[in-house]
Amino acid sequence: MPILEKISQASQARHWTDSIPLEFHYTAGVAGEEFRRELKRNGRFLASECSKCKNSYVPARMFCPSCFIEMKETRTLEEPGYVYSYTTVNRNRTGEPNGPVTLALIRFEGVKGGIVHKLNVSEPSSVTFGMKVVSILKEASARTGALTDILAFKPA
């Protein structure tokens, strides 16, 4: 049945307010789970490699976004990462004064993608683009396979 009335404002539409109890479970995916398992067990970052274009990606992913083929090869990143971009914030999510906290996109030489995380520096002005950094991880027994297993990155 077509709507015969012309509604000029969204608030004029007939509606009701209610709630639907839903529960969501998102999986990390096959490659995401491998990445998390490597982080949890061995404290290392796992990258996936494309056999066709030879690009590597971190965090590990299942398909190459350039070639659209499945990437079955992986390698761990042993070298320090570097600061690709960063910002310093002085407020928390609710707007309360907090910090300063420096957040950075950490990339790795020859690898596409990266990890956004806290950068542990005493003085935000000491951060430079390209600065070599290493991760600070939780103790192995406390790691759960989440990105929060990484406490922060720090200058190498």
Hey, which residues does 56 pair with through a beta bridge? Answer: 49
For residue 141, give the 3-state DSSP assignment: helix
Q: Total residues at the site for Zn ion (CB under 5 A)?
A: 6
Judged by CB under 5 A, which stretch of 3-11, 17-25, 60-68, 97-105 contacts Zn ion?
60-68
Judged by CB under 5 A, which stretch of 1-9, 67-75, 116-124, 132-140 contacts Zn ion?
67-75
User: Cα dihedral sign for 140, 144, 146, 149?
Assistant: negative
Interface with Zn ion, residue 51, by CB under 5 A: no
Q: Half-sphere exposure of 97 toward its Cβ, with a 13 Å CA cutoff?
A: 0
Interface with Zn ion, residue 52, by CB under 5 A: yes
At residue 78's C-alpha, the angle toward residues 75 and 83, to 5°, is 110
User: Which residue from 7, 67, 116, 156 is in contact with Zn ion, where contact means CB under 5 A?
Assistant: 67
Binding site for Zn ion (CB under 5 A): 50, 52-53, 64, 66-67
